[in-house]
Amino acid sequence: MALARFQLCAIDCPDPRALARFYSALTGWPETTPHEDYPEWVQLAADGGATIAFQRVEDFQPPQWPGQEHPQQMHLDFTVPDLDEGERAVLALGAVKHEHQPSPDAFRVFLDPAGHPFCLVHVRYDT
């Protein structure tokens, strides 16, 4: 029996509302603010299971991937049926394609508007 259930992943950033809008557009999950007394915290209402939250951090320093001076500490992966289409879509949302692409036929690395790395991973949904 599990001791706990995973609820969310909270991401530090300079502007929680702006980063929540980016990931909301990416996932289709609407924004929700758990409590109006905490404007520095925004989360998404996932369509099932765990979700993503965003918290404001003063003097935020984005991770530098693949370097280790400011390590990424975590990143999110999103599966897509077509990497080229997925890439076009996230770039249109404001992501930046990272110059370092270890395996571009299998996955692609991007930076969200706050500089966090995330990946689009090619997964065939028909198998």
State the SS3 of 3-17: CCCCCEEEEEECCHH
- Give pTM, 2 decimals: 0.78
What does the pLDDT profile of the chain (127 residues) look like in tens digits? 765 577 889 899 999 999 999 999 999 999 987 666 677 889 999 988 889 999 999 999 888 888 888 887 778 889 898 999 999 999 999 999 999 998 899 899 999 999 999 999 987 655 4
Encoded tokens for 57: 């951090």
CA distance 115 to 118: 9
Q: Which domains does the chain have, with CATH numbers?
A: 7-58 (3.10.180.10), 70-127 (3.10.180.10)
**3-state DSSP percent of the chain in helix, strand and coil, to 5:** 20, 30, 55
CA distance 93 to 90: 5
